[in-house]
C-alpha cells in the first residue's frame, strides 16, 4: 500500500490557505505554489541517502556527510505541475527535469497525453513527479504508468491538494509510489473538481480564466 504523507507544517497550512483563497491573483498564486513546493521538498527528500566524505575545515580534518545515491529527476505533469518545479529545484539544483503533458478531458475526465520529454537516463534516477492537484487520480496514474514503462523504478508523487478518490486510485494502481500532499480534502464535485480545493490550478497559475 502506498505511503500517504500529509505534510501539515504550520507554514504549509498558512500558505495553502492563501492559495485556496479565490481573491489571490496569479502572481501571488505562482509565488506561493513555488514556496509550498520548496517546503514540501524538504520532507520529500528526508530519506535521501548520505555518504561520508573527508574534508578540512579551517580548524582541522573531519569526516562529514553529503548526499549520495541515485540522481534525481523532477517530472511536472503539464501544465500545472510546472508551478512546482522551481521550488524543488531550489532544494535539488542538480536535478534534471522531464515533462509529461496531460490534460483531463472535461467530459470523460480521462487524461489525454500530448507531450513527453524525459532525461535520457531517466530509468536510473529517483523521480519526483509534481502536480498541484490529485483529483480523480487519472492524470497522475497515467503519468506514472508511462514512467514505469520507460523503466523507472523509484517514484514519489508530490501534490498540494488531494481528494480521497485520487489517493484511493493511486493506492490501487501504484501501491509502490509514496504520495506527499499538503492536504486531503473532502471530495470531488460533479465536475471532478476538488471540494473545497483551490479551483483550476493551471488556470490560476497561468491566468487563463
Do 37 and 20 meet the contact criterion of CB atoms below 8 Å apart? Answer: no
Active site residue 200: yes
Is 46 noted as a catalytic residue in this protein?
no
Report, in Å, the least distance between residue 189 CB and ligand URA. 8
Choose the one of ligand URA, ligand PRP, none that binds residue 194, judging by a C-beta under 5 to 8 angstroms depending on kind.
ligand URA
Among 55-63, 94-102, 143-151, 199-207, the segment contacting ligand URA (CB under 6 A): 199-207
CB of 102 to ligand URA, least distance (A): 11
Task: Please compute Rg for the chain using Cα positions.
Answer: 18
Rounded CA-CA distance 121/18 in Å is 38
Q: From the candidates 8, 47, 62, 108, give the one annotated as an active-site residue.
A: 108
CA 138 to chain centre: 15
Is residue 142 a contact point for ligand URA (CB under 6 A)? no
**CA 123 to chain CA mean position, Å:** 18
Verify cis geometry, omega within 30 degrees of 0, for the bond prior to 196.
yes
* Positions 125 through 144 that interact with ligand PRP (CB under 6 A): 131-140
Residue 199 makes contact with ligand PRP by CB under 6 A: no
Q: Does 133 bind ligand URA (CB under 6 A)?
A: yes
Is the Cβ of residue 135 or residue 177 nearer to ligand URA in the bound state? 135
For residues 103-131, one letter each, b for 16 or more C-beta atoms within 10 angstroms of the residue's C-beta and e for the rest, the string is: bbeeeeeebeeeebebbeebbebbbbbbb
Among the listed residues 30, 79, 104, 125, the single catalytic one is 104
Cell numbers 493506492 correspond to 171
Q: What are phi and psi of 24, to 5 degrees?
A: -80, 120
| Residue 166 binds which of ligand URA, ligand PRP, none (CB < 5-8 A, kind-dependent) | ligand PRP
* Contacting residues toward ligand PRP, per CB under 6 A: 77-80, 103-104, 109, 111, 131-140, 166, 192, 200-202
Amino acid at each position: 500500500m502506498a505511503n500517504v504523507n500529509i505534510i501539515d507544517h504550520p507554514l504549509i497550512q498558512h500558505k495553502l490557505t492563501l492559495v485556496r483563497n479565490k481573491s489571490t491573483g496569479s502572481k501571488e498564486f505562482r509565488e506561493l505554489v513555488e514556496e509550498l513546493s520548496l517546503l514540501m521538498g524538504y520532507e520529500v527528500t528526508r530519506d535521501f541517502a548520505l555518504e561520508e566524505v573527508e574534508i578540512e575545515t579551517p580548524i582541522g580534518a573531519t569526516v562529514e556527510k553529503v548526499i549520495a545515491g541515485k540522481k534525481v529527476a523532477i517530472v511536472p505533469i503539464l501544465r500545472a505541475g510546472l508551478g512546482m518545479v522551481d521550488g524543488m529545484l531550489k532544494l535539488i539544483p542538480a536535478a534534471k527535469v522531464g515533462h509529461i503533458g496531460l490534460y483531463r478531458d472535461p467530459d470523460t475526465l480521462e487524461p489525454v497525453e500530448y507531450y513527453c520529454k524525459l532525461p535520457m537516463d531517466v530509468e536510473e534516477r529517483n523521480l519526483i513527479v509534481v502536480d498541484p492537484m490529485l483529483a480523480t487520480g487519472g492524470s497522475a496514474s497515467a503519468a506514472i504508468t508511462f514512467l514505469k514503462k520507460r523503466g523507472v523504478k523509484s517514484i514519489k508523487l508530490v501534490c498540494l491538494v488531494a481528494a480521497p478518490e485520487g489517493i484511493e486510485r493511486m493506492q490501487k494502481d501504484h501501491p509502490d509510489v509514496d504520495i506527499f500532499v499538503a492536504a486531503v480534502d473532502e471530495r470531488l464535485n460533479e465536475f471532478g473538481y476538488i471540494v473545497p480545493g483551490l479551483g483550476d490550478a493551471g488556470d490560476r497559475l497561468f491566468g487563463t480564466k
